[in-house]
Amino acid sequence: MSLMHRLNSLPRRRLLQVLGAGAVLAPLGACSENLATGRRQLVLVSDEMLAQLSHQAWLDLQAQTPRVEDERIQQRLGAIGRAIADASGLTNVNWEFVAFESAEVNAFVLPGGKVGFFRGLIDLAASDGEIAAVMGHEIGHVAARHAAERLSQQLAVSVGVRAAQVLLSEEMGEHADEAAAALGLGLMYGVVLPYSRQHELEADRLGVDVMRSAGYAPADAVSFWRRMSADNAAQPLAWLSTHPTNEERLVALEQLAGPVR
Count of the separate structural domains present in the chain = 1
CA angle 16/18/24 to nearest 5° reads 125
Nearest to 109 by CA among 150, 154, 79, 139: 139
Catalytic residue numbers, as ranges: 138
Give the pLDDT of residue 148: 76
Q: What does each C-alpha distance from 164 to 137, 144, 215 come to in angstroms?
A: 37, 31, 51
Alpha-carbon span 30 to 157, nearest angstrom: 15
Q: What does each C-alpha distance from 103 to 51, 58, 67, 77, 256 come to in angstroms?
A: 27, 19, 12, 16, 30
pTM of the model: 0.69
Structural domain including 130 reads 3-257
Q: What is the tens place of the pLDDT at every residue in 178-234?
A: 545 554 555 454 544 555 778 888 999 999 999 999 999 999 999 998 888 887 544
- What distance lies between CA 95 and its chain's CA centroid? 17
252 and 205 Cβ atoms separated by less than 8 Å: yes
159 and 25 Cβ atoms separated by less than 8 Å: yes
Give the pLDDT of residue 50: 75
